[in-house]
Chain A
Amino acid sequence: MIPPAFDYARPGSIEEAVRALADGGEDAKVLAGGQSLLPLLRMRLAFPELVVDVGRVPGLSGVREDGDTLVIGAMTTHHDVIHDPLVRRHAGLLAAATATVADPAVRHRGTLGGSLAHADPAGDLPAVVLALDAELVAQGPGGRRVIPAREFFVDYLQSALAPDELLTEVRVPKADGWGFHYEKFHRVAQSWAIVGVAALVRRDDGHIAEARVALTNMGATPLRAHAAEEALAGAGDAEAVARAAQEAADGTHPAQDTSASPEYRAHLARVLTGRAVLTAAGMG
């Protein structure tokens, strides 16, 4: 549990941070809350030459409204996200899912932006921002860039951020009027999800008008269950939801690990999608 040697920079502004990253090139890593990076360093699974600690950069945390959008600073801790009144009112799915992340100690240190930039498909929040159709804002030497969540998660532990870009904020469209639920399936409270399902449902006249379903840990990136989403439109009872949920694993490529096989994960995705949607729709 001894990390390899690395250089350390602690910039005081976004501009300084971006410059440090640009200077470090491919071998620089951003340190946010440290809840993913530090274990990787200590287990010698990551060997950055330079660690850029953005913990003292002002203006990177907090939640504000911008019209129909919530703007959440990338360094906002999980704990603050869970308890933020704006998030609870307009993006309840995010608050609810964040409350299932790891344990209280991690939630006080870990940040929303850090968790997303880490792009771990087993993390809970990537699927959640995917379901929310959020946008991620990056700052680089060339200026500011807005990346839709559906383009942000590129591959396993790989985001669309360039090595010299810093994730600064997450823009979440207000989901007022949508029912939501995050169904996390794990073996012990502190372990990662074997499968997680983030569901947002808009109902109209007793039927599901529109459903968004995103899956945690069903592939190299978080995934939208498009086939299930389409099949859910118009569903009016539990039976119809369960039928539509059968399509939740379509197009997924879940991994084999010590917790579960791909086959079982696909089964779980179907069962849990049914449950998440029913709960989100208030039909459960």
Chain B
Amino acid sequence: MTETVAREVGRARPRKEDAHLLTGQTSWTDNITASGLLHIALLRSPMAHARLTRVDVSPALERPGVVAAFSGADLADGLSSMPCVWPVTEDIVMPDHPPLAVDEVRHAGDPVAVVVARDRYAAADALEAIEVDYDPLPPVLDLESALADGSPLVHSDKGTNRCYTWPLKTGEDFDAVRARAEVSVRRRYHQQRLIPNAMEPRAVVVTPVAASGEYTLYSSTQIPHILRVLLAMVTGIPEHKLRVIAPDVGGGFGSKLQVYAEEALALAVARRLGRPVKWTESRSEGFLTTHHGRGMIQDIEIAAKSDGTLLGLKVDLLADMGAYLMLITPGIPLLGAFMYPGIYKMDAYDFTCTGVFTNRTPTDAYRGAGRPEATFAIERTMDELAAELGMDPVELRRRNWIRHEEFPYTAIAGLTYDSGNYEAATARALELFDYDKLRAEQADRNARGDTVRLGIGVSTYTEMCGLAPSRILRDLRYAAGGWEAATVRVLPTGKVEVVTGTSPHGQGHVTCWSQIAADVLGVPFEDVEVVHGDTKAAPQGMDTYGSRSLVVGGLAVHHAANKVVDKARKVAAHLLEASEQDLEFTGGVFSVKGSPEARRTLQEIAFETFSSHDLPDGMEPTINAEHVLDPDTFSYPHGTHLCAVEVDTETGQSRIRSYVSVDDVGKVINPMIVEGQVHGGLAQGIAQALFEEAVYDDEGNLLSGTMADYLVPSAADLPEFVTDRTETPATSNALGVKGVGEAGTIASTPAVVNAIVDALRPLGVQDVPMPCTPERVWRALRSAQEARS
């Protein structure tokens, strides 16, 4: 094994990506054009649930600039149902999901017709000419009544709105431990639906080559590789004739971990017309049709001893699938199933999730995907238990968490956490937060009866990320694997190309993979280029989601670079007439121990493998190496977050006064990128606690369908974050790294809500539903006041 000198890893390198992003030299999908390009617009259902009795697109054909128009029936032949690759149980109900509705629409925004025109304006105008008759059906909107006998059905042919029920029981029997518990706390929490808002809306361009039957599809996607496989299946276009490119992609947060109907339709239309086509989502269209996140009802019960020792945990979930199963819709709650016990030791765990169909936009992955929901429920309930016991919430956690000397530790849900130090992260967070001083101020305000109360919220977490060991995915009935591929090529001039199967959309892989490769190869950071996001240039990959890119894809780069060094060592030994064991490799130079003048640089060796004039017998020319890594285990970052909130009891307004996060993501490749990930994650988690919610009316219309009604916070609405790290290296991988992309989102939501409830608990408030809007806080205060008087 080569001794790596870390000159790059650990450095806060400014991102290589930023120069072109900041100077507008980007190629977003919507910037891509082709001669003869046609524009697609979609007519969408204004109703949540209706039979389609007539779709007549012919009047649209009369409109200026219109080239073609299609109904669902017109395109049904060449397109199969949209894919769901995570059938979580054997008896899961998998309804048909046509890319374009044929006889029924099942959520507001479900597409019913396509117009193809010479420009975007003509296409949008012609939509108004299409004639559609809707025969309204009763919408299914409430998760509990959807399961009741006699409920209207989202998919009448299936006879039920129940998609699946997935149980997990580990350790002792929960009822038995509850029987011996001295205290138990049972709560219900609602995870409101969230609507992902990437900076760049979705967009797709397809350019066909009629003569060869080849198609290039550009998409604002997180998953070019998975997309290629699945679009080949949906459209019947042979996989080797389909090239997928993810150009510059402006964010995803899980919303672009998807195979969307518009991508399949763009291919179908391009195939039908033999012309290049483009579709770009408008923001309000995105609110209706880009998949949503969260959407669960959580019933949670903790059983404990009176000294706070946890005995068992029971969780019953209802998870809103929405109208259809998208790529991994059913599996999202399962990513949380293993995380409800969090960082705590206990004897019994009993989990059940029931997936429910509703006439709303389908749900799927959104930053954290299942794990924020789980962390919220356990951390909120831990605070409730602490209140019940009259115990400091930090102390309650301390009494129950896995101690650092107990790692590796197999937690109650069956996962083995490789490493962690919850004590260290918590101690650092308390110190930065000035916990005792804030508690004193809180007591003082309470004593004075101040109209502005102070609350302190704590949240500890771990999460399973770095998706994922392929065998575990098999056990969870996920259809694909969790490996990642990397190729490292040293070019004849000594410059380096790293080809990765990850597909960055804002994360900074180009910078980080350059840092990793530069250290292993001993070449300058600037000499490394990273190739990604094109199935022709980077043919193998599993793409980017689930905080997987570094711990799977970055590791693959590390191992591939080491394979290059291994081969280079053989060439160096041959050229220097020394044995491999006698060679040292530092700073990109091989030298013979004891005779430092006998040396060859990696660049010289690269040229030698190119010319191939003098290679060892039997060695193949060139010096490239590939590594495909299937991880042995998940990655388990952890941390402790503390939040202080001031609540104005007259208006109900909550203001975050201070926020401290201490995350442990193991070894860090680039601290600036880690800090950016944490900041963005905190903003998104705080947004769930305070601001964001998909609101529907009783008919299933989305009321929060624009940025004016769906409140995405900006920097002006967020506090100055204090972020710090502890560093407990992962023992499960060669770099000691853990995932970071979702950590901030997972931890921050419960920290904020715990703080609000902590502020109001002396006034009789036990909970405020999310988002904790001023009105909801005001109503909670008023109900508490009425209950007391």
Interface residues of A (CB under 8 A from B): 1-2, 4-5, 43, 185, 187-192, 194, 257-261, 264, 267-268, 271-272
Contact = CB atoms under 8 A, between A and B. Distances in A.
B27 interface: no
B161 interface: no
Contacts of B97: none
Contacts of A190: 714, 716
Interface of B: 41, 120-121, 124-125, 282-284, 650-651, 653, 691, 695, 703-704, 706, 708-709, 711-714, 716-717, 773-775, 778-779
A4 B774 contact: no
A267 B284 contact: no
B11 to A, nearest CB: 35
B247 to A, nearest CB: 21
Contact of A258 (B282, B695, B713, B714): B695
B778 A264 contact: yes
B651 A191 contact: no
A268 B651 CA distance: 6
A258 to B, nearest CB: 5
Nearest to B653: A185
Contact of B121 (A2, A267, A271): A2
B283 A1 contact: yes
Contacts of A268: 651
A192 B708 CA distance: 8
Looking at chain A's contact residues, the main secondary structure is loop
Nearest to B697: A258
A261 B120 CA distance: 39
B124 A2 contact: yes
A191 B775 contact: no
Contact of B708 (A1, A191, A260, A267): A191
Contacts of B124: 2
A187 B708 contact: no
A153 to B, nearest CB: 21
Contacts of B695: 258
A187 B121 contact: no
Contacts of A192: 708
A157 B41 CA distance: 31
Contacts of B709: 257-259
A264 B775 contact: yes
Contacts of A261: 775
Contacts of A267: 778
Contact of B714 (A4, A188, A257, A264): A188
A192 B651 CA distance: 17
Contacts of A2: 41, 120-121, 124-125, 282
Contacts of B704: 258
A257 B773 CA distance: 13
26 contacts: A1-B284, A2-B41, A2-B121, A2-B125, A2-B282, A185-B653, A185-B774, A187-B691, A188-B712, A188-B713, A188-B717, A191-B708, A191-B711, A192-B708, A194-B774, A257-B709, A258-B695, A258-B704, A258-B709, A259-B773, A264-B775, A264-B778, A264-B779, A267-B778, A268-B651, A272-B651
A185 B711 contact: no
A272 B651 CA distance: 8
Nearest to B281: A1
A4 B711 CA distance: 27
B714 A271 contact: no
Given A5-B125, A258-B695, A187 B774 contact: yes
Contacts of A1: 282-284
A189 B717 contact: yes
A190 to B, nearest CB: 6
B695 to A, nearest CB: 5
Contacts of B653: 185
A92 B112 CA distance: 54
A188 B121 CA distance: 33
Contacts of B716: 188-190
B651 A185 contact: yes
Contacts of A188: 691, 711-714, 716-717
B636 to A, nearest CB: 34
Contacts of A257: 709
Contacts of A194: 774
A-B CB proximity, top 10 nearest: A2-B124, A189-B716, A1-B282, A264-B775, A188-B717, A188-B711, A258-B709, A258-B695, A271-B650, A258-B703
A185 B706 CA distance: 20
B104 to A, nearest CB: 26
Given A4-B125, A267-B778, A271-B651, A187 B706 contact: no
Contacts of B691: 187-188
B773 A187 contact: yes
Contacts of A259: 709, 773, 775
A5 B282 CA distance: 17
**Most chain-A CB neighbours within 10 Å: which of B650, B714, B779?**
B650
A4 B774 CA distance: 38
A134 B711 CA distance: 33
Given A5-B121, A187-B773, 10 more contacts: A1-B284, A2-B41, A43-B284, A190-B716, A258-B695, A258-B703, A258-B704, A260-B774, A260-B775, A261-B775
